[in-house]
Chain A
Amino acid sequence: MTVRSLGWPVMVTLGILAAWEAVVGALGVKPVLLPRPTVIAQVLWTKAPLILEHLWPTLYEIALGFLLSVVGGVLVAVLVTYSTIVRKGFYPLIVVSQIVPKVAVAPLLVVWFGLGGTSRLLLAFLIAFFPMVINTATGLTSVDEDFVRMARAYMGSRWQIFTKIRLPHALPLIFGGMKISITLAVIGVVVAEFVAAQRGIGYLIVMANGLLDTPLMMAAITALSVMGLALYGVVAIVERAVIYWQQPTDPARGGFA
């Protein structure tokens, strides 16, 4: 995505915000129901210290949960690729386990692991690691057989074929998985904070909700969204730097560019 291609979404967003402001103002909707964007912006500004105080622990746990998912997901994918026992015995179980809605498991995790960061990390991991496994395993195994034959003809070992061929070949898919995982890690941590936490942006949202402080709630949601977007952006930037040999697939570019 180039800076120029940002023009359209920014224009559309501004348009929607302006319409929202005008309609809510004209109809005199109460702030408890739906505050005007300018009110939200004001709260964001005046309550910035409070929001930031709750944003940091959330950010920290999202980052940690994401890294765990990436490392764990890639490791599981390697095992799935190279171990028949894991592929035939455990992989189907991992896939089936994805049917269980993780959000529903959140209270259970709190029962097992308490109110601390462990349950939040675990929920983030459980939600976010699966796309890493699927994408990485697909990447590692989708190498054209000719590449492997070529490498074997030059006496490449399994390790060399893994590091020099399979892993780099899988990188674009691994990054695709990371882009999904980072957004899922956000969901995991925030949902866990809804269920049980004394701090964190999810906690702040629930608390503001309880106080019927809708402007604060929406300010917190806005802050959370911006953070999620920034995290995604970081992954996308790293992806660009790492995968220099191909254009990242970008549905937003679309059309006959």
Chain B
Amino acid sequence: MRESVTLAGVGKTYASGVEAIREVAFQVAQGEFLTLLGPSGCGKSTLLTMIAGLLAPSRGTIAVDGAPVQGPRRDVGIVFQSPVLLPWRTVLGNVLLPIEMLRLGRRPWEVRARDLLAMAQLTDFAAKLPHELSGGMKQRVSICRALVHDPSLLLMDEPFSALDALTRDQMGQELLRIWELYRKTVIFVTHSIREAVFLSDRVLVMTPRPAAIGFEIDIKLARPRTLDMQESDEFNGYVGVLRRAIETGGRR
């Protein structure tokens, strides 16, 4: 099993003096779906931003595919809580933004962008502007954008938390479908225990700030996962374990 992401002794103290992350170490295998679960303000976004190379850790090292992270890298895709679509660009234009930024030449990649949109059931919306889309559709576009340059690592910071519960379940299923097709390594951040259990191969529970990894569990639910599984005893067993882990402050 090859490692995709390795964090060793990573800590972050902001210039303001806030110690967001005490010490975090974990590894993510290639193709693994890993979820970070933790209370609000514990430093999940900070951690993800550092893995994306947008923020330098104060201590420790982060490596992606064996190479230390020193800045943004071309093989990372990122999805934020809000879709951050440029309102003046069409859906297709938004999906192709990373291609333009990376100066890859639009023509050859447009085919892939359209394939991704088709898979996200957005074919008919390629030429529409973002304001003509629903919240869930916008977030699907931003997932397409994160995948368009064929990154090996996908970072997702509470991508579904702004959506209503029904849409959220649907999006989770679609994300899994896409993930099973492309088998990217995913690091997913959420507040929702059920979402974590439903999506992940493994869940890490973070302690309140300054964060550390307090608890870790492999989710051995069969794949492909279906919404029906959410009623199974196995599923709810995991939910219970994780809830207790969070209640005890994530500490074992």
Interface residues of A (CB under 8 A from B): 144, 146-147, 149-157, 160, 164-165, 168, 171, 243-246
Contacts and interface: CB of A to CB of B under 8 A. Distances in A.
A153 B52 contact: yes
Given A155-B74, A156-B101, A171-B88, 7 more contacts: A146-B80, A153-B72, A154-B98, A160-B100, A160-B101, A168-B86, A243-B88
B240 to A, nearest CB: 35
19 contacts: A146-B82, A147-B86, A149-B80, A151-B101, A153-B52, A153-B53, A153-B54, A154-B97, A154-B101, A154-B149, A155-B72, A155-B74, A155-B102, A164-B97, A164-B100, A168-B86, A168-B88, A245-B88, A245-B131
Interface string B63-99: 0000000001110101010101011100000000110
Contacts of B102: 154-155
Contact of A153 (B78, B88, B131): B78
A149 B49 contact: yes
A144 B101 contact: no
Contacts of A245: 87-88, 129, 131
Interface string B34-54: 000000000000000100111
A150 B72 contact: no
Nearest to B71: A155
Contacts of B88: 168, 171, 243-245
Nearest to A155: B72
Nearest to A168: B88
Contacts of A155: 72-74, 101-102
A153 B84 contact: no
A150 B84 contact: yes
Interface of B: 49, 52-54, 72-74, 76, 78, 80, 82, 84, 86-88, 97-98, 100-102, 129, 131, 149
Contacts, number: 53
A209 to B, nearest CB: 49
B209 to A, nearest CB: 21
A152 B72 contact: yes
A151 B85 CA distance: 11
A245 B90 CA distance: 10
Contacts of B84: 144, 146-147, 150
A59 B71 CA distance: 53
Nearest to A147: B84
A153 B86 CA distance: 15
A160 B72 CA distance: 15
Contacts of A246: 87, 131
List the 8 closest pairs (A to B, CB-CB), nearest first.
A154-B98, A156-B101, A154-B101, A245-B88, A153-B78, A146-B84, A245-B87, A150-B84
A160 B98 CA distance: 11
Contacts of B86: 147, 164-165, 168
- Among A149, A152, A154, A165, the most chain B Cβ lie within 10 Å of the Cβ of A154
B150 to A, nearest CB: 13
A100 B88 CA distance: 39
Contacts of A149: 49, 54, 80
Contacts of B72: 152-155
Contacts of B101: 151, 154-157, 160, 164
Nearest to A144: B84
B23 to A, nearest CB: 25
A243 B131 CA distance: 14
A165 B84 CA distance: 11
B45 to A, nearest CB: 10
A244 B131 CA distance: 12
Contacts of B129: 245
Contacts of A150: 78, 80, 84
Contacts of B54: 149, 152-153
- Among B76, B87, B88, B131, the most chain A Cβ lie within 10 Å of the Cβ of B88
B98 to A, nearest CB: 4
